[in-house]
Structures are given as C-alpha cells and as structure tokens.
C-alpha cells in the first residue's frame, strides 16, 4: 500500500505490517475439534455410524444447534454455538477451506482482535436472520464466513485507490464470490441463505466501524516504513458494543413477533 505526497522529489514508500493468522488457525482448530466431538457423541450415545459423513441431528441439538423454539424459550446461546457446529464432513470441509483461504488475508490487514470481532458479529447476525426468516434447525460457520467476505470487501473498497491493481483484483474476486455463493444459496433448499445474508450484513456493519485508519510514520528516511494505525480503541469498542446491542434488540423483536406470549 503506497501513500503518495502531493509534491515531492522522492516518493516515500510505506507498507502495512501484516499480522500472522493466529486467530484463523485457532478457529480452524475449534471447528475441527467440535466436529470430532459431535462424531464421537453420535457413536457413543446413539451408535450412529452415519455420523462419519452426517452428524446425528440429536447430537447437534444437544451441542447447541439453532432451534427456534428453544431460542424463544431463552436459550439464546444457541445463536452463537450453532456457528461452530457442522452437519457433516462435506459441510465442515467447505467451511474450513473458505476460512483457511479468506481468514489470513483479512486478519493480516486488520489484526487479531478486529478479525475476531468481525467473525463473532458476523456469526451472530447470521444466526439472527436465520432465526427471523428460517424455521429450520441450522448449524455452520458459513454465516460468519460470509461476514468475512463482506468485511474484506469493505476494507478493499475503502483503500482501493492505494492498493492499485492488486486491490481492485481482490475487490472484484470478493464481489464475484459473494454473487456466486448467494446464487447457489437461493437455488438450493438445504442451504440457510438467510444465515448467509445476515452474516454478510454483520461483517460489513462491523467492519465499517472498526476499519483501521493508517497514517505515515514520523520522518521519511530513504527506506520503506510500516504505516502506523491510529489508536481508536475506545471508538472501536463502542462500535462493537453498538453492533451487539442491535443484535440483542433484534433477537427480542423477532421473538416477540414470531413467538408472542399467550
């Protein structure tokens, strides 16, 4: 990423110091570990050998799948735990691959804590829209992954002028992947597309308020220097809080509309 001064004989070169994908690796490990747990529980409790390819629904409910009636009764934690469960090995592998491909890119640019915040906000908003518009039991990290796609799009849209051809290529790829996956989601009845849309909204909304703001470092020696990130921790924490409050209000509103008290 190059920031160019309006007039200078020498053009100072700056770059973004990338973060290692520690959170991405941790999330990959959690998703894989919970799938192994679900398989073992299916074998142990129900003797279900089909769990090697498709997780027993009873185990998914036990571990925290999104079940609308149970959420309405107060088990709101299911809107989060459902993000980390998967219905089968194919479902898991698709999401692991997507997270492995996309996670290091976004985490590298925005850092560990921002990335974690975007992932959780995306997952929660995906569960919220699924709770609002899909009555089916659902699990999976794809809503959170759609949020990462949305957040990456927001990032490269904001800094598209500074990344040049590389940034435009990434932005075009993100838009293409989003369009194709939404099209596939609308054409397949077993895909929770509302969860995908909710995750996309959550990722874009979260990223809009915690987007890193860069500034050149003091002094311009004759070698490339890493850009500094403006310290906006309080503002970013406040924005995450706003996103979570909106989520909480949304859950309450959906429950009151779909499951009104008798």
What does the alpha-carbon distance between residue 180 and residue 164 come to, in Å, rounded to a whole number?
Answer: 25
Residue 48 has pLDDT above 80, yes or no: no
Look up the pTM and report it.
0.89
Q: Based on the residue annotation, tell me whether 196 is a catalytic residue of this protein.
A: yes
- Catalytic pick from 86, 122, 142, 187? 142
Fold held by 14-254: Rhomboid-like fold (1.20.1540)
Task: Identify the active-site residue in 38, 87, 91, 196.
Answer: 196
Q: Could you tell me if 35 and 92 are in contact, meaning their C-beta atoms sit under 8 angstroms apart?
A: yes
- Measured CA to CA in angstroms, residue 74 lies from 26, 58, 86, 247, 258 at distances of 29, 19, 23, 15, 14
Is 91 a known active-site residue? no
Residue pLDDT, tens place only, 95-151: 999 999 999 999 999 999 999 999 999 999 999 999 999 999 999 999 999 999 999
């Amino acid at each position: 990423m190059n920031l160019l001064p309006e007039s200078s004989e020498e053009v100072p070169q700056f770059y973004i110091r990338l973060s290692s994908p520690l959170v991405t690796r941790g999330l990959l490990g959690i998703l894989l570990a919970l799938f192994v747990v679900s398989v073992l529980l299916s074998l142990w409790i129900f003797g279900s050998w089909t769990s090697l390819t498709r997780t027993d629904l009873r185990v998914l409910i036990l571990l925290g799948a999104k079940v609308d009636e149970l959420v309405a009764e107060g088990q709101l934690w299911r809107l989060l735990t459902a993000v980390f469960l998967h219905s089968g090995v194919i479902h898991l592998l698709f999401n692991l691959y997507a997270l492995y491909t996309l996670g290091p890119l976004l985490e590298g640019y925005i850092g560990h804590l921002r990335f974690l915040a975007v992932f959780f906000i995306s997952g929660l908003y995906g569960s919220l829209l699924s709770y609002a518009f899909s009555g089916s039991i659902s699990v999976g990290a794809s809503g959170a992954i759609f949020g990462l796609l949305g957040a990456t799009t927001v990032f490269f849209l904001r800094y598209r002028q500074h990344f040049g051809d590389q940034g435009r290529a990434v932005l075009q790829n993100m838009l293409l992947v989003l369009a194709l996956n939404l099209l596939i989601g609308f054409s397949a009845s077993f895909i929770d597309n509302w969860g995908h849309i909710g995750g996309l909204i959550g990722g874009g909304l979260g990223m809009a308020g915690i987007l890193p703001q860069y500034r050149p470092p003091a002094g311009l020696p004759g070698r490339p220097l890493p850009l500094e990130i403006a310290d906006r921790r309080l503002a970013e924490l406040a924005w995450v809080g706003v996103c979570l409050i909106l989520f909480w209000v949304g859950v309450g509103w959906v429950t009151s509309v779909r499951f009104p008290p008798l």
